Amino acid sequence: PVCSMGNSSSRLYSALAKTLSSSAVSQHQDCLEQPDSARLDPIDPKDLLEECQIVLQKRPPRFQRSFVDLKKNAASNHRPIRVMQWNILAQALGEGKDNFVQCPMEALKWEERKCLILEEILAYKPDILCLQEVDHYFDTFEPLLSRLGYQCTFFPKPWSPCLDVEQNNGPDGCALFFLKDRFELINSANIRLTAMKLKTNQVAIAQTLKCNETGRLFCIAVTHLKARTGWERFRSAQGCDLLQNLKSITQGAKIPLIVCGDFNAEPTEEVYREFANSSLNLNSAYKLLSPDGQSEPPYTTWKIRPSGECRHTLDYIWYSQHALNVNSALGLLTEEQIGPNRLPSFNYPSDHLSLVCDFSFNQDPDRLL
């Protein structure tokens, strides 16, 4: 049987046809057996984008967002490193648990929603991609992104809530992707976060990469902390544990660091202050979009649940502020673009906005962090 991907019969049909919807898993077990991605032919991103647009032709066009130039006359002798952070919304949670009361179920169909996600990634062409709530890693993101030239790593939650949903696609977790022609993997650590000395259900991935162009080392980490009101101390403990791990991996901040994540915490929370005041000397990149460079965006997630409207700033890209420069950051969607029914929608596949930043190394590698 064929796993339907729309009416297209393009060159990429066979590649995309194997990325299943959760409802099709039981009917199409043969499609779950993925060939070794390393042996598959590379995909031209333009071809994949065209394929996605064919599937999405009945949906409204993708929102247009612009990059804000943040360079302070800092010349760089290397191409910037583009980092994308995004909680993409686990399919099982979107359909089965999250209760987006203003979002039609039709808008959440995986066959089309995955193409909206891919379209967003292809539009911004990140060198490094950090994702949370990935529950279609093995049948969608790893096979496709590896053929686009990314090295792929996935670390699922030990007890994913996705597993409580009928016809789920397995556990969700964090995933990290980097372009193999730009970076060399030096070290990789999968971290199960602890709180009050107990292992928790939240995870992180931290990888030390060498930039092939400059020879400089840096560490990239992705995480997703515990959700919900009332768990502030728990998130704080998880943040402390992650920082301790990152101090060790970066040799006490000798190696520059970028941390992407859905922290499930507003800037008023203790875990935010821990990162802001850490000895790793981190700053939050999206603060630089504010007029004074001191305020986070007004929201990174905006949805309507049965309890009412939820508009929060929970997602961050932290970086070593003396070792790295933020050249530019992708502007957020406006309230008008998001619309009265909020997210997700036919226009946008997740309840969280993607964050994208261009980084460059400080020109003086010996400068103290």
**Element containing residue 271 per DSSP (H, E):** helix 270-276
Banded model confidence at residue 34, pLDDT cuts 50, 70, 90: very low
Q: Is the dihedral of CA 279, 285, 288, 293 positive or negative?
A: negative
Tens digit of each residue's pLDDT (9 = 90 or more) over 135-150: 999 999 999 999 999 9
Which token pair is 253? 């901040």
Q: How much is the pLDDT for 18?
A: 52
Q: What is the mean pLDDT of residues 87-92?
A: 96
Alpha-carbon dihedral 284, 289, 292, 297, rounded to 10 degrees:
-70
Distance CA 86, CA 97 (A): 19
Whole-prediction pTM: 0.90
In angstroms, the Cα distances linking 210 to 178, 180, 182, 204, 286 are 11, 10, 8, 20, 25
Q: What is the mean pLDDT of residues 4-9?
A: 36
**Residue 188: is its pLDDT beyond 70?**
yes
Helix, coil or strand: residue 209: strand
Query: What does the domain layout of the chain look like in residue ranges?
Result: 78-361
- CATH of 78-361, picked from 3.10.290.10, 3.40.50.410, 3.60.10.10, 3.40.470.10, is 3.60.10.10
Distance CA 356, CA 124 (A): 8
Q: How much is the pLDDT for 77?
A: 79
Tens digit of each residue's pLDDT (9 = 90 or more) over 272-295: 999 999 999 999 999 999 999 999
- The answer to whether the beta carbons of residues 181 and 211 sit under 8 Å apart is no
Which token pair is 97? 């648990």
**Residue 49: is its pLDDT beyond 90?**
yes
For the chain, give the mean pLDDT.
89
Alpha-carbon dihedral 155, 156, 157, 158, rounded to 10 degrees:
-100
